[in-house]
Amino acid sequence: MFEDFYLPFGGKLRSDNRWVKLAKLIPWEEIEEQYAENFADSGMGAPAKAARIALGALIIQEKLGLTDEETVYQIQENPYLRVPRTPTETEAVSC
């Protein structure tokens, strides 16, 4: 999972990093199933973000005691903080 994480400047993430370890402990598939049940595919409004993105950002925010805006900046600037969100996400995070 995290071994395939895209780093634009090369290199690899360390498997002993606290965020990598935490991401491995969370049952993402089970959470995604339960999370998806709360959203209807009505075609109205913006599609919901994946549970891993939403929950991952919330975990980061709570563990670090950050504001919404600072959470976004931290995720943008630190590749390890993207691991709890999604290992293959390469798009920019915006405010």
pLDDT confidence of residue 87: 46
C-alpha 79/C-alpha 7 separation (Å) is 7
pLDDT confidence of residue 92: 39
C-alpha 1/C-alpha 62 separation (Å) is 24
Instruction: Answer yes or no: are the C-beta atoms of 60 and 84 closer than 8 Å.
Output: yes
Amino acid at 80: Y
C-alpha 40/C-alpha 10 separation (Å) is 39
pLDDT confidence of residue 81: 87
- How would you write the pLDDT of the chain (95 residues) with one tens digit per residue? 555 656 666 777 788 889 889 988 999 889 988 988 887 676 777 777 888 888 999 999 999 999 999 999 999 888 888 876 654 444 334 43
